[in-house]
Structure 1
Amino acid sequence: MTYDLPQTRGRLTAQKALSGLTWLRVGGPADWLFQPADSDDLSAFLKALDPSVPVFPMGVGSNLIVRDGGLRAVVIRLSPRTFGQIEVNGLEVTAGAAALDARVANTAAAAGIDLTFLRTIPGSIGGAVRMNAGCYGSYTADVFVSAQAVLRDGSQVTLTPDDMHFAYRQSKLPEGAVITCVTLKGKAGDPETLASRMADQLAKRDATQPTKDRSAGSTFRNPAGFSSTGQADDVHDLKAWKVIDDAGMRGARKGGAQMSEKHSNFLINTGTATAADLEGLGEEVRKKVYDSSGITLEWEIMRIGEPT
């Protein structure tokens, strides 16, 4: 698709292959990839861009399947050089949206601030806010103070917790909004104790998850529970891996895609998978689980773009 794009101080790349920018290493090209020079450059670009042109803010691609036909949009990706700085002020940590979750956790721990749950979450802090990432019973919403963002019309705004509408594994941002900076507040802790906790978390993760394989983290959200009246609630004691196992889908394959033998809620690219293989296997798992238990698994991995 041909777009009339505004002038920019940043970098614009036409027909950029997105497969190399996602952890699963699949997917077709974006019409354009835009890497802004700074927040003002991003703001001016979006303000001048035809409102009919779709934009897609992309983090480090840790929780994403780009379909094989690619994406008819301008993909916006923030550089960690410009949007990866981390500052500490008291118990608050302010990080550029491109800063990796692990770096935020380590920087905070060294300053005596407990954001240790972020250490084993793949991806960048902007993505963690967008999807309310969580681990070990803690969620980004629990420590979120505010975020700076550029909206689709180019306006620069400050987002509060009320603006985010956090829920389990999700938030509600305006379409096309790009988070540029995040402020989190953790509890005080002893740096050595926090470092030891993170080391234990890493060891546990490596023992139970296929960290050496190409995956995108958890494939499906843990199913919601049900109250005594039969209404769905927000309790997630039932685990997705358990219902996948019960449906006999641990280790299931489709083309080059596989549900991990080590952790059955991890969808992996064994080396030759297409996006269609990965998404197709995920849908087969959803069907088998529904047939087996009546539970409809919800994707945690975002799928975007067009099939071939």
Structure 2
Amino acid sequence: MTPPMRSPNKQASDAPAFMRGLRGRLRVDEPMSRHTSWRTGGIAEYFYTPANKADLIQLLVQLPTDMPLHWIGLGSNLLVRDGGVAGMVVRTAGGLREFELSAPQRLSVECGVACAKVARLAARHNLTGVEFLAGVPGSFGGALAMNAGAFGGETWDWVEQIECVDRRGQCKKIHAKDLSYGYRQVALPEDCWILSGTLALTAAASGYSGQDTIRSLLEKRSASQPIQSANAGSVFRNPRGDFAARLIDVAGLKGRAVGDAAISDMHANFIVNRGAAAAADIERLIGIARDRVMQHSGVELDLEVRIIGAEK
């Protein structure tokens, strides 16, 4: 279902009835290119940044039950098709940004906090384990939802519990031991969106500097990934026992372009927007990579990025 195309970037002057009493910021016909790290995508019918957790819950209680609902954080790991997104897009980054040292070696963080900030917060409290999150470009909620990882570390190695909310605004806490998770996946209950998570970390040894480790990891990332270009991080999951980047490289696809979308010469598992790529260009390039790798190596690549919205 394609959202009605009205004037882009219009402020919501006459808020619909389901927005009454809310304190966050509502925009209608909002270009999603402003909110994705690929810097492309169509228009969201409604786009809301809640003031805080309570405001988000109130929105869910009041939102029409038949209205499509989408959640984003920092817009990495996400491709929004050019036809746009019907219904409500909720942006947690900028709204759900609270964190606290909730107990010794326990760091509780809301879903809208950037992963890089979580890594720095832990280091500041002399806690170790999640330095790798400095290399994850998204929000903490996204990292929890997909068990994001980098530099050999994975988010759910350190999760003690999460707090979720359903479409009706009902919240519940779930302990890590009650969930199944693995490489880039978490079996969350149906109708469950993550509000926050608690990390059980380790006290750093005397003389250890988490900040130094983070600095070293970021230097490594800068040297191996095209972070100066608009991208969404790794496009495909690594197949068991191999690397998606290697398979794409040996298939001869480094530098392959569709419009302004191109497979990075630096890291073949990255697709970069060289300036004016449409979402359709990126999606077509994804299809080319999957087909060519299957033909060349007999391996089916699974997407790591999420694709939402309607084709134009």
TM-score above 0.5 = yes
Q: Distance in 1 between matches of 2:221 and 2:32?
A: 28
Change in CA separation of 1:113 and 1:79 when aligned onto 2, cut-off 3 Å: same
Match of 1:5 in 2: 18
CA contact (8 A) 1:42 1:150 kept: no
Q: Is residue 2:157 matched to residue 1:142? A: yes
Change in CA separation of 1:207 and 1:152 when aligned onto 2, cut-off 3 Å: same
Cα distance, 1:90 vs structure 2: 1.4
Q: Which amino acid aligns with 1:255?
A: G
Match of 2:218 in 1: 202
Q: Distance in 2 between matches of 1:270 and 1:221?
A: 23
* Alignment size in residue pairs: 295
CA contact (8 A) 2:93 2:111 kept: no
Q: Distance in 2 between matches of 1:5 and 1:208?
A: 46
TM-score, length basis structure 2? 0.89
Cα distance, 1:38 vs structure 2: 2.2
Change in CA separation of 1:164 and 1:35 when aligned onto 2, cut-off 3 Å: farther
Provide, for residues 55-83 of structure 1, a one-character-per-residue CA deviation record: whole Å limited to 9, x for no partner: 01111101111000011121111243x42
- What residue ranges of structure 2 are gaps of 5+ in the alignment? 5-15
Q: Is residue 2:273 matched to residue 1:263? A: no
Residue 273 (structure 1) aligned to one of 277, 286, 291: 277
Match of 1:160 in 2: 175
Change in CA separation of 1:36 and 1:177 when aligned onto 2, cut-off 3 Å: farther
Cα distance, 1:104 vs structure 2: 0.8
Q: Which amino acid aligns with 1:206?
A: S
Match of 2:28 in 1: 14
TM-score, length basis structure 1? 0.90
Change in CA separation of 1:164 and 1:25 when aligned onto 2, cut-off 3 Å: farther
Match of 1:72 in 2: 86
Q: Distance in 2 between matches of 1:75 and 1:175?
A: 18
Match of 1:242 in 2: 246
Q: Distance in 2 between matches of 1:9 and 1:246?
A: 52
Provide, for residues 197-244 of structure 1, a one-character-per-residue CA deviation record: whole Å limited to 9, x for no partner: 2121111111111111111111110012xxxxxxxxxxxx30111111
Match of 1:122 in 2: 137
Q: Structure 1 runs of 4+ off > 6 angstroms?
A: none
CA contact (8 A) 2:93 2:113 kept: no
Q: Which amino acid aligns with 2:151?
A: Y
Change in CA separation of 1:52 and 1:173 when aligned onto 2, cut-off 3 Å: farther
Match of 1:228 in 2: none
Provide, for residues 144-191 of structure 1, a one-character-per-residue CA deviation record: whole Å limited to 9, x for no partner: 111222211111111222454322112233455332222111222147
Provide, for residues 282-303 of structure 1, a one-character-per-residue CA deviation record: whole Å limited to 9, x for no partner: 1101000000011010111111
Q: Secondary structure at the match of 1:73?
A: strand
Q: Which amino acid aligns with 1:39?
A: K
Give the percent of matched residue pairs that are identical in Structure 1 and Structure 2: 36
Cα distance, 1:10 vs structure 2: 2.3
Q: Is residue 2:185 matched to residue 1:170? A: yes
- What residue ranges of structure 1 are gaps of 5+ in the alignment? 225-236
Matches within 5 A, 1:36-75: 36-75=50-89
Residue 99 (structure 2) aligned to one of 86, 106, 109: 86
Match of 2:148 in 1: 133
Cα distance, 1:96 vs structure 2: 1.7
- Please, what is the CA RMSD of the aligned residues? 1.8
Q: Distance in 1 between matches of 2:291 and 2:93?
A: 39
Q: Is residue 2:196 matched to residue 1:181? A: yes
